[in-house]
Structure 1
Amino acid sequence: MAPNAPAVADIAAGEARYTATCAACHGADGNSGAPANPKLAQQHPAYVVKQLQEFKSGKRPSPIMQGFAAQLTEADMQNIGAFPGKQKAKAGFAKDKELVQLGERIYRGGIMNRNIAACAGCHSPNGAGIPAQYPRLSGQHADYTASQLVSFRDGIRKNSPQMSQIANKLNDREIRAVADYIAGLR
């Protein structure tokens, strides 16, 4: 069992708390319609819990999310994490054919001469991620993914040293490319 995984999450309580606290920004079913807000549908519950804990503690800075997370108990976080994980993620789509080809090369093979690992190694070839370790990325909004990669690269987001190290080696075009590819990944 993952360190953040509850013995048994209360999905009904999670749905009620999610609906009251999270749905306005992340969508009623976890499929955010706003490109700046992440889709949470089908996300690994332990990953959602970890992020909520890190927002609450300040390890992951976000004035908006810190305010919401501060109100949550550990049980709330466990229950909320379970709810979107049970929802069906809606497919996303890539927008730029030229960029998506570069993004696919980076996602699947990395950039060897610059020691940039392939995204697929941790997030899986289809973007499903590895539960409790690496988040699901498949279909995520390109704007959100790009903003997170830039935050890792620029030292704003520090809650994953591995991602900071990888993002630090990517330029803006490569970030946009991999984010666009992830948006259409299935």
Structure 2
Amino acid sequence: MNRLCKSLKVLQVVAAAGLLSWAAQTRAAETPKPDLNRGQAIATKVCASCHGADGNSASGMFPKLAGQHEAYLVKQLKDFKVQAGAKAAARTNAIMAGMAGALSDQDMINVAAYFAAQTPKPGFAHDAATVSEGQKIYRGGIADRHVPACAACHGPTGMGIPVQYPRLSWQWSDYTVTQLHAFQQGAGARNNSDVMHDVASRLSDNEIKAVADYIAGLH
């Protein structure tokens, strides 16, 4: 009887493992695969004028996309579109709303994968007077105002965590400043991260500039 019970338990474990494996294979098969060639074509025709053909934009008006996490880029493109049941897009930008609106979900996957595969050009901090403050905020936060260290989510070198948190390393300081201000505003500007809205709202303009400049040279 004991042997029979043990055999049944073994069969149950094997069956469960088989089901989990089958489920994982099914999800993988259902996930659309990116086409880098089509992604490059979209980048060249649609994105290059602002972000550069390889994702290295020429100025802080536009973010560097080279080396950014694929899943993060897809999410941001979707956030520029008004989703079903929503009254407004999570990110407000007239230009990007038009660009993203013309892309299918597969287009977004393709172009995101292409930019993620590109090599970002190095950036540099420019204000020596604020590097120390920027580093302190990035690595240690501001305890008395409950501002967490940026490194806790974005990593000590700004590489981020795929799917969850974006890469910040070498990003233009002007762009980072603009986005932190947008997070402060929330609805009507950038309303796609409650955590970042809370964090940015606790920072002064000078602190935002300091940490953004530090991030520009972080690697």
TM-score, normalized by the shorter chain, greater than 0.5: yes
Any stretches of 5+ residues in structure 2 without a counterpart?
Answer: 1-23, 25-29, 83-88
Distance 2:59 2:53 in 1: 12
Q: Which residue of 2 aligns with 1:175?
A: 208
Q: Does 1:50 align with 2:50?
A: no
Root mean square deviation of aligned Cα:
1.5
Q: Does 1:66 align with 2:100?
A: no
Query: Contact 2:183/2:197 (CA < 8 Å) preserved in 1?
Result: yes
Deviation of residue 154 (structure 1)? 2.0
Amino acid corresponding to residue 170 of structure 1 in structure 2? L
Query: Contact 1:106/1:118 (CA < 8 Å) preserved in 2?
Result: yes
Query: Contact 2:62/2:175 (CA < 8 Å) preserved in 1?
Result: yes
- 1:153-176 superposed Cα distances (whole Å, 9 cap, x missing partner): 122211111000000000000000
SS of the residue corresponding to residue 113 of structure 1 reads helix
Q: Which residue of 2 aligns with 1:163?
A: 196
Q: Does 1:113 align with 2:136?
A: no
Regions of 4+ moved over 6 Å: none
| Shift in CA distance, 95/128, structure 1 to aligned 2, threshold 3 Å | same
Query: Size of the alignment, in residue pairs?
Result: 184
Any stretches of 5+ residues in structure 1 without a counterpart?
Answer: none
Q: Which residue of 1 aligns with 2:19?
A: none
Query: Contact 2:32/2:106 (CA < 8 Å) preserved in 1?
Result: no
Distance 1:135 1:64 in 2: 22
Distance 2:131 2:76 in 1: 28
Query: Contact 1:93/1:184 (CA < 8 Å) preserved in 2?
Result: yes
**Matching of residues 114-153 of structure 1 within 5 Å:** 114-153=145-184
Deviation of residue 6 (structure 1)? 4.4
SS of the residue corresponding to residue 98 of structure 1 reads coil
Amino acid corresponding to residue 147 of structure 2 in structure 1? I
| Shift in CA distance, 68/52, structure 1 to aligned 2, threshold 3 Å | same
Greater relative contact order, per chain length (Cα 8 Å cut-off, separation 6+): 1
| Shift in CA distance, 37/56, structure 1 to aligned 2, threshold 3 Å | same
| Shift in CA distance, 118/141, structure 1 to aligned 2, threshold 3 Å | same
SS of the residue corresponding to residue 129 of structure 2 reads helix
Alignment TM-score, normalising by the size of structure 2: 0.82
Deviation of residue 34 (structure 1)? 1.5
Q: Of residues 32, 55, 64 in structure 2, which corresponds to 1:39? A: 64
Distance 1:11 1:84 in 2: 9
Q: Of residues 86, 94, 106 in structure 2, which corresponds to 1:75? A: 106
